[in-house]
């Protein structure tokens, strides 16, 4: 009855786990999966899986469970893994070039089409088939291709000014890896990625 699509934010973050698990179960020959099965593998309560799946409009059958392929497809679609969005990455240092080398973007529907930096020795080169341009080229390229999302991996002391340049260039969403709080207009979305926070949470359980 709660028909308008609604899933909690924690629920949304659980979806990839369900997908990963069910993908394996399908390989093992399962056609259907129950919330009980998923719950057992992931150490969750069955009801929470039912609620999450209800939230993305996946309908199960009593006694049978959920169709495994439907589940995989609906999650993939809901997460946007079936579309392809183009991104830019600004700051090709340690972390930036590591991300450029990382091949996980493609299967999640993202393609980094250009990297930008101010370091002359890497401008003009490629990392993992992605060309590195001078930072000056950023506004033109973003505007021309109507790019909306950028990855920010510059050193902390340049994060703010670089973010401003990205915003002037039409970027609306910034995935911010620098350990800095960005001061940006209301309409700009920023996701700060604090890579080590989850490792820290893990550690807190032992000390």
Partner DNA sequence: TAGATTGTTAATCGATTAACAATC
Is residue 111 a contact residue for a second copy (CB under 8 A)?
A: no
Min dist. Cβ of residue 131 to a second copy (A) = 19
Interface positions, 132-191, toward a second copy (CB under 8 A): 148-149, 151, 172-173, 175, 179-181, 183, 189, 191
Helix axes 68-79, 9-27, angle to 10 degrees: 140
Q: Toward a second copy, which CB reaches closer, 129 or 183? A: 183
CA distance 206 to 92: 35
Min dist. Cβ of residue 71 to DNA (A) = 10
Is residue 125 a contact residue for DNA (CB under 7 A)?
A: no
120-125 long-range Cβ contacts below 8 angstroms, 24+ apart: 122/92
**Site for a second copy (CB under 8 A): which residue of 95, 132, 142, 163?**
95
Closest to 88 in 3D by CA, of 16, 162, 13: 162
Q: What are phi and psi of 135, to 5 degrees?
A: -55, -30
Q: What are phi and psi of 142, to 5 degrees?
A: -60, -45
Query: DSSP secondary-structure letter at 139?
Result: H
Is residue 2 a contact residue for DNA (CB under 7 A)?
A: yes
Q: List residues binding a second copy (CB under 8 A).
A: 9, 12-13, 16-17, 20-21, 24, 41-42, 79-80, 83, 85, 94-95, 98-99, 101-105, 108-110, 148-149, 151, 172-173, 175, 179-181, 183, 189, 191-207
């Amino acid at each position: 009855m709660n028909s308008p699509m609604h899933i909690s934010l924690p629920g949304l973050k659980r979806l990839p786990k369900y997908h990963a698990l069910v993908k394996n179960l399908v390989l093992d020959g399962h056609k259907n999966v129950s919330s009980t099965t998923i719950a057992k593998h992931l150490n969750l309560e069955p009801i929470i899986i039912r609620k999450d799946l209800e939230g993305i409009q996946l309908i199960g059958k009593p006694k049978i469970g959920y169709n495994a392929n439907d589940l995989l497809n609906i999650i993939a679609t809901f997460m946007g893994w079936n579309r392809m969005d183009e991104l830019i990455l600004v700051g090709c240092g340690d972390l930036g070039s590591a991300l450029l080398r990382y091949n996980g973007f493609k299967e999640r529907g993202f393609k980094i089409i250009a990297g930008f930096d101010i370091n002359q020795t890497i401008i003009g080169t490629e990392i993992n088939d992605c060309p590195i341009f001078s930072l000056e080229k950023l506004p033109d390229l973003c505007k021309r291709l109507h790019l909306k999302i950028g990855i920010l991996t510059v050193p902390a002391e340049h994060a703010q000014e670089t973010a401003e340049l990205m915003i002037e260039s039409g970027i609306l969403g910034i995935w911010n890896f620098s350990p800095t709080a960005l001061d940006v207009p209301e309409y700009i979305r920023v996701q700060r990625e604090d890579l080590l926070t989850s490792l820290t949470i893990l550690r807190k359980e032992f000390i």
